[in-house]
Structure 1
Amino acid sequence: MKKLVFTLALVVGSWTVQAQQLPLISNYLNTAHLFNPAFSGLDGKTEITVLNRRQWTDIQGAPETQFMAFNGNREDLKFGYSGYAFNDVTDIVSRAGFYGSYAWHVKFTDQNSLSLGLGAGYVNNTINVGGIRVQDDLDPVLFSALNRAKFDLNFGFNLKFGDFSFGAAVPNILAPKVDFSDNYVISPFQYQYMRHYVVNTQYDVNLQKGLMTLSPFVTVRANEVTIPQVDAGLMFNHKEYFFIGAAYRSSYAVTANTGVHLTENITMGYAYDFSLNTYGFALGNSHEFMLRYSFGESKKDKRLENEL
């Protein structure tokens, strides 16, 4: 039993200290509302997105993440809303839950605006103790999983000045503590969610009267324990046909993104991460697939056409 408790504590402890506790995705420019609630409904579209990511494919128990997200807005574009369900599994540790967000978009001029967003979520944290190898495989604790659910909040804002935007978000505002102590575990163990900070900047260079966009961007993720991670990249989007981009993720990987607009409403995307860290050759690379369906024309684009 002591050996089991030690193993669980080691797994949870190392996962807490070394991981960012937030699902890592590479298609976040296409799903910005997943990490910043202020982006809810910001682009004037109503859409559903499905995303699947497999990280470090050469090792067993590597992270796997799935998302199903909805994003929309009111007709006047002053308010947006979004929601998503997710499942994130790393070896015997997993998290599954859902978040809902609401955003307020304040337009100062035709080119300048401020967006404020608040999200709330319910996350179930699970340790599959049956996946731990021990000498006594008849130990009763191995026949069940440990589950603990927690409520949390996210907040974010985004400022837009012409073609330049700057935003920040604070996931895990409440930083809840998850306690896995129960009747089977003699020595209590727990881990603490960490408050995160995500800062994003982007500049859109519009080409061919907005038909194509070239967007350099920088995103910084930080928390109270780990070293900040910086993403710097460039994305090119042809609104009718395809998008392609690349980014450098500090001390981790180089990411290549590409996708096609199959129809006016359906977009399919793929991202590939080339690992750059010391153990990258052994861990393997990462694959991410995205499928998005948009309902009708963008309300923002339609309103601009009417004004012209």
Structure 2
Amino acid sequence: MLFTLSKKITSMNRIYHSYILLAALLLAGSATVAQQIPVFNQYLINPYVYNPARAGLSQYGTLFLGQKKQWADVPNAPDTKLLTFDMPVLDKKSGVGLTLFADEMHIIHKFGGSFTYAYHLPMTEESSFSMGLSAGFLNQRIDFGDARVKNPNGDALLQRNTNTTTFDVAFGIHYRFKRLDIDISVPQLANTNARYLDNGGKVSSFELINHWLGSARYRIPVSKKDEEHLVIEPVFMVRGAKGLPAQYDANILFRWYDKFWLGGGYRSGASNIFASSMNLSVGFNVSEFLVASYNYEVGARNRERISFGNTHEFALGFRFGRRAERIEKNLEDLKLALNTHQADSSHLVKQVEEQADAEQQAQAEQQAQAELLEQLEMLRKLKQLEDLQRIQELQRLQELQKLQELQRLQELQALNDLEKSNQADSTKEEIASRIRGGEMSELNFEKVGSVYFKVNSSELSEIAKAELRAIKAEMDDKNRLITVYIAGNASIEGGSIYNMVLSNRRAISVKNYLASIGMPESIVLPIPYGAENPITKEQKYEEDREKNRRVDIFILAE
């Protein structure tokens, strides 16, 4: 742990014997400004150490005792002791906390404390926002009476036992979303000064510089079935102070049922200011009321490991109020169980009746589905028969066109179609007289085009729509359209019933699109063939199956 002394204190005469080791210890922090707040690893299990917004957030009272002994190989190395207590108040919407710490490094002794108030705002079921404010004091004493120096009257030495007290505040915010926690805090916000008098009566002081800390942690369950079995928790912190480069911590914890955890991490360094280090942490929830942790830290570079040695940090936590919380939860569970038992007994008969009704409904639906399939099959066969008769009739008509009797047959066919049409009687009579007078031209049956579909689809593509517009323009050039036959087809992927329904949907899609661009629906006849009218029968390859996902368009026209 490094501290800031005034420029006059940094001009102190060389201290002998064990104080030479202290000078070596401060070698990495020889700049006139250094981090002034204690650096703990305890924040991994007790975030309230650094962020006042965390006070009372754990939903029960917590007391932590901790000690950090730095650099075991260095005499009079920093030794920091810490006590924190926080608890929820006002129906757990707020929290209060207390922090006390004592820090000793050779002739420098610090003692401080603060009181915290935090407000917690639930935002949604999975997120919350908190902010907290701490106000406290810092007393710093320098015992130059314990120092052995060459010139005891030098200006570098202040009064034999001099101390000063100053007051300060800290502010912090916390945001939680699902398994993510984000903390930001600003210690020593007031930026106050601690003042001393030297032997000459002059005032010497050092400034409590602004610090800032930001951290983020995220809990990652390894198993979705049992999220508490093993949780991986990466924790990242960045800390900085006015005039100093930022320093970051990167840690990762492995938690097993939140009863045992093991972790490791790295803390960055900066040349001549603070040293980089690595740490290993282990902890136990000894019971629901007691938690213990230990952190072992060592310099990241061989030079620090040889010069300073290891750092040890201990923490012991006590939880209060969990018994009441557990009793309350047990009462809620008991009440829920009683309500569930009553609901189960009262709905038992109803569930049996509903199950019987569901079975009857399922049987009725199965029977209705079977009847529908049977009707569809009958409809398919009837349509096939009608289409076959119609096509055979048209084929005979084409053959008869070669004969002299073709004209008469065409007149009869036209009169027959006219009689079945919805035309007015006067119009029918006029058209019939024209037919009998030989004014109607010959009728032709021809294929005018095809459009294709994607697998299992009856939706027209833009290419198919463009093809239908071209076919419509071609049909518009005919003298008179008698009938437009829309022959729907399908490839062999589906069953016979499915293919029949799909081919019918494709034919209907073509009919509806032709109607939307001006084709009279009364002369358009959709005919589903299923997969029974293939172009390529075997359909081993996709290119063969694509040719059968189609609708063919035939017309009877002059």
TM-score by length of 1: 0.88
Per-residue CA shift, 1:35-67, capped at 9, x if unaligned? Answer: 110011112121111001101111122111001
Which among 55, 61, 64 is matched to residue 40 of structure 1? Answer: 55
Distance 1:213 1:302 in 2: 27
Give the structure 1 partner of residue 165 of structure 2: 149
SS at match of 2:58: coil
Give the structure 2 partner of residue 246 of structure 1: 264
Distance 2:58 2:291 in 1: 15
Q: Does 1:258 align with 2:278?
A: no
In structure 2, do the counterparts of structure 1 residues 155 and 301 end up closer, same or farther at CA, with 3 Å as the change threshold?
A: farther
Distance 1:171 1:299 in 2: 34
Give the structure 2 partner of residue 297 of structure 1: 322
- 1:298, distance to aligned residue in structure 2 (A): 8.2
Give the structure 1 partner of residue 77 of structure 2: 62
**Structure with bigger gyration radius:** 2
Equivalent position amino acid for 2:166 in 1: K
Q: Does 1:169 align with 2:206?
A: no
Moved more, 162-171 or 184-193: 184-193
Q: Does 1:217 align with 2:235?
A: yes
Q: Is the 8 A contact 2:214 2:238 kept in 1?
A: yes
Distance 1:244 1:298 in 2: 27
Moved more, 110-119 or 240-249: 240-249
Distance 1:16 1:179 in 2: 20
In structure 2, do the counterparts of structure 1 residues 200 and 78 end up closer, same or farther at CA, with 3 Å as the change threshold?
A: same
Equivalent position amino acid for 1:171 in 2: P
SS at match of 1:28: helix
SS at match of 2:32: helix
Q: Is the 8 A contact 1:75 1:299 kept in 2?
A: no
Give the structure 1 partner of residue 300 of structure 2: 276
SS at match of 1:66: strand
**Unaligned segments of structure 2, at least 5 residues:** 1-5, 13-25, 270-275, 337-558
Q: Is the 8 A contact 2:228 2:258 kept in 1?
A: no
Q: Is the 8 A contact 1:16 1:192 kept in 2?
A: no
SS at match of 2:53: helix
Equivalent position amino acid for 1:285 in 2: N
Aligned pair count reads: 301
SS at match of 1:17: coil
SS at match of 2:91: coil
Distance 2:211 2:33 in 1: 13
Q: Is the 8 A contact 2:42 2:49 kept in 1?
A: no
Give the structure 1 partner of residue 103 of structure 2: 88
- 1:135, distance to aligned residue in structure 2 (A): 3.0
Distance 2:324 2:254 in 1: 22
- 1:268, distance to aligned residue in structure 2 (A): 1.2
Moved more, 272-281 or 34-43: 272-281
Aligned pairs for 1:122-161 (under 5 A) are 122-135=137-150, 144-161=160-177
Equivalent position amino acid for 2:9 in 1: L
Give the number of the structure whose residues are more often strand, by fraction: 1
- 1:188, distance to aligned residue in structure 2 (A): 3.2
Distance 1:300 1:29 in 2: 24
* Misfit runs of 4+, over 4 Å: 13-16, 136-139, 298-308
Q: Is the 8 A contact 1:27 1:257 kept in 2?
A: no
- 1:17, distance to aligned residue in structure 2 (A): 3.5
SS at match of 1:108: strand
Q: Is the 8 A contact 1:17 1:225 kept in 2?
A: no
In structure 2, do the counterparts of structure 1 residues 36 and 6 end up closer, same or farther at CA, with 3 Å as the change threshold?
A: closer
**Unaligned segments of structure 1, at least 5 residues:** none
Per-residue CA shift, 1:282-306, capped at 9, x if unaligned? Answer: 1111001111111142888888885
- 1:90, distance to aligned residue in structure 2 (A): 1.8
SS at match of 2:44: coil
Per-residue CA shift, 1:180-212, capped at 9, x if unaligned? Answer: 125x34443211111000001111124524354
In structure 2, do the counterparts of structure 1 residues 138 and 10 end up closer, same or farther at CA, with 3 Å as the change threshold?
A: closer
Q: Percent identity?
A: 26
Moved more, 211-220 or 83-92: 211-220
Give the root-mean-square deviation of aligned CA atoms.
Answer: 2.8
Give the structure 2 partner of residue 118 of structure 1: 133
- 1:271, distance to aligned residue in structure 2 (A): 0.3
SS at match of 1:175: coil
Equivalent position amino acid for 1:8 in 2: I
Equivalent position amino acid for 1:256 in 2: L
Give the number of the structure whose residues are more often helix, by fraction: 2
Distance 1:149 1:15 in 2: 25
In structure 2, do the counterparts of structure 1 residues 130 and 159 end up closer, same or farther at CA, with 3 Å as the change threshold?
A: same
Give the structure 1 partner of residue 504 of structure 2: none
